[in-house]
Amino acid sequence: MARRSYELSPALAGLLALALAACGARDPDPNLVRFWAFGREGEMVRELVPEFERRHPGVRVEVQQVPWTAAHEKLLTAHVGNATPDVAQLGNTWVPEFVALEALAPLDVRLAVSRAVARADYFAGAWDSNVVDGVTWGVPWYVDTRVLFYRTDLVAASGAPWPPRTWAEWRQAMARIKQRGGAERYAILLPVDEWDKPVLLGLQAGAALLDAEGRRGAFRDRRFRRAMVFYTDLFAAGLAPPVTSSGIANLYQQFAEGYFAMVVTGPWNLGEFRNRLPADMQQRWATAPLPAPDASAGYPGVSLAGGASLVLFRHAAEHDAAWRLVEFLSAPAQQARFYALTGDLPSRRSAWARTDLDADPRAAAFREQLGALASLPKVPESEQIVARVAEAVEQVVRGSRTLDEALAALDADVDRMLEKRRWLLEKKAGEARP
Amino acid sequence: MSAVPRESTGTPKEARAAWWLLAPALGAIVLFFALPVVAGLLLSFSDFDLYAIADPRNARFVGLGNYARLLRDPLFWKALGNTFLLVAVGGPLTLAVALGGALLVNSRLARLRGLYRTIFFAPVVTTLVAVAVVWRALYHPRFGLFNQILGLFGVPEIDWLGHPRWAMFAIVLLSVWRSFGYCLVILVAGLQAIPETLYEAARLDGASWWHQLRHVTLPLLRPTLVFAGVITTVGFFQLFAEPYVMTRGGPLNATLSIALLMYQQGFRWWNMGHAAAIAFTLFALILATSALQVGLRRREARR
Neighbours of B28 (CB within 10 A): 10
Verify that A273 and A398 share a domain, yes or no.
yes
Verify that A91 and A217 share a domain, yes or no.
no
pLDDT-wise least confident of A150-154, A237-241, B14-18: B14-18
Question: What average pLDDT does the segment B100-127 reach?
Answer: 84
Spatial neighbors of A28 by CB under 8 A, at least 6 apart, are A86, A315, A316, A319
Q: Please report which confidence band the pLDDT of residue A29 belongs to, taking 50, 70 and 90 as the band edges.
A: confident
In this structure, is residue A222 part of a structural domain?
Answer: yes
Least CA distance to A245: which residue of chain B?
B162
> Rounded to an integer, what distance in angstroms lies between the CA atom of residue A107 and that of residue A314?
10
Whether the upstream peptide bond of residue B251 has omega within 30° of 0, thus cis, is yes
CB contact under 8 A, B49 and A80: no
CB contact under 8 A, B239 and A18: no
Verify that A323 and A396 share a domain, yes or no.
no
Q: B interface mutation test: which of A15, A75, A253, A379 has the most B CBs within 10 A?
A: A15
pLDDT on residue A8: 40
Distances in Å between the alpha carbon of A355 and those of A129, A352, B93, B231? 24, 5, 60, 60
Verify that A152 and A223 share a domain, yes or no.
yes
- Nearest-by-Cβ selection for A384 from B58, B262, B269: B269
In this structure, is residue A2 part of a structural domain?
Answer: no
In angstroms, the separation between the Cα of residue A16 and the nearest Cα of chain B is 6
> Rounded to an integer, what distance in angstroms lies between the CA atom of residue B23 and that of residue B29?
10
In this structure, is residue A20 part of a structural domain?
Answer: no
In angstroms, the separation between the Cα of residue B243 and the nearest Cα of chain A is 13
- Nearest-by-Cβ selection for B36 from A15, A381, A400: A15
Verify that A65 and A172 share a domain, yes or no.
no
- Nearest-by-Cβ selection for B266 from A11, A101, A394: A11
Verify that A65 and A183 share a domain, yes or no.
no
Sign of CA dihedral A164, A170, A173, A174: positive
User: pLDDT tens digit string along A312-367?
Assistant: 999 999 999 999 999 999 999 999 999 999 989 999 999 999 998 888 999 999 99
Range of the domain at A129: 28-145+305-359
Verify that A112 and A162 share a domain, yes or no.
no
Better pLDDT: A368 or B164: A368
Verify that A281 and A389 share a domain, yes or no.
yes
Domains and CATH numbers, chain B: 12-58 (no CATH), 75-302 (1.10.3720.10)
Element (H, E) at A90: strand A87-91
Element (H, E) at A417: helix A403-417
Per CB distance under 8 Å, which residues of A are interface residues toward B?
1-5, 7-8, 11-12, 14-16, 18-19, 73, 76, 79-80, 97, 100-103, 192-193, 243-244, 246-247, 249, 380-381, 383-384, 391, 394-395, 398, 400, 420-421, 423-424
In angstroms, the separation between the Cα of residue B6 and the nearest Cα of chain A is 35
Query: Residue B96 above 70 pLDDT?
Result: yes
From chain A, pick out residues whose CB is under 8 angstroms from the CB of B238.
4-5, 8
- Nearest-by-Cβ selection for A5 from B32, B238, B263: B238
> Rounded to an integer, what distance in angstroms lies between the CA atom of residue B28 and that of residue B44?
23
> Rounded to an integer, what distance in angstroms lies between the CA atom of residue B256 and that of residue B250?
7
Spatial neighbors of A325 by CB under 8 A, at least 6 apart, are A33, A35, A52, A61, A87
Domain total of chain A: 2
CATH code of A201's domain:
3.40.190.10
From chain B, pick out residues whose CB is under 8 angstroms from the CB of A1.
124, 179, 182-183, 231-232, 234-235
Verify that A255 and A121 share a domain, yes or no.
no
User: pLDDT tens digit string along B131-151?
Assistant: 988 998 899 887 889 988 998
Distances in Å between the alpha carbon of A370 and those of A72, A345, B203? 25, 10, 83
In this structure, is residue A429 part of a structural domain?
Answer: no
Verify that A354 and A298 share a domain, yes or no.
no
In angstroms, the separation between the Cα of residue A57 and the nearest Cα of chain B is 36
CB-CB contact of A383 with A157 (8 Å): no
Written as one letter, the residue type at A265 is T
DSSP 8-state symbol, A122? B
DSSP 8-state symbol, A292? B
> Rounded to an integer, what distance in angstroms lies between the CA atom of residue A396 and that of residue A233?
10
* Residue-averaged pLDDT of chain B: 88
Query: Residue B164 above 90 pLDDT?
Result: no
Minimal CA–CA distance to A419: which of B180, B293, B60? B60
Beta carbon pairs, A and B, within 8 Å: 110
Verify that A231 and A176 share a domain, yes or no.
yes
Least CA distance to B276: which residue of chain A?
A15
DSSP 8-state symbol, B32? I
CB contact under 8 A, A246 and B35: no
pLDDT on residue A19: 46
Question: What average pLDDT does the segment B92-119 reach?
Answer: 85
CB contact under 8 A, B267 and A5: no
In this structure, is residue A34 part of a structural domain?
Answer: yes
In this structure, is residue A370 part of a structural domain?
Answer: no
pLDDT on residue A25: 44
> Rounded to an integer, what distance in angstroms lies between the CA atom of residue A421 and that of residue A120?
33
DSSP 8-state symbol, A151? E
pLDDT on residue B2: 46
From chain A, pick out residues whose CB is under 8 angstroms from the CB of B252.
391, 394-395, 398, 400
Verify that A240 and A324 share a domain, yes or no.
no
Better pLDDT: B15 or A405: A405
In this structure, is residue A184 part of a structural domain?
Answer: yes
> Rounded to an integer, what distance in angstroms lies between the CA atom of residue A256 and that of residue B245?
28
Q: What's the N-to-C CA distance of chain A in angstroms?
A: 60
In this structure, is residue A369 part of a structural domain?
Answer: no
Question: What average pLDDT does the segment A26-32 reach?
Answer: 75
Least CA distance to A247: which residue of chain B?
B162
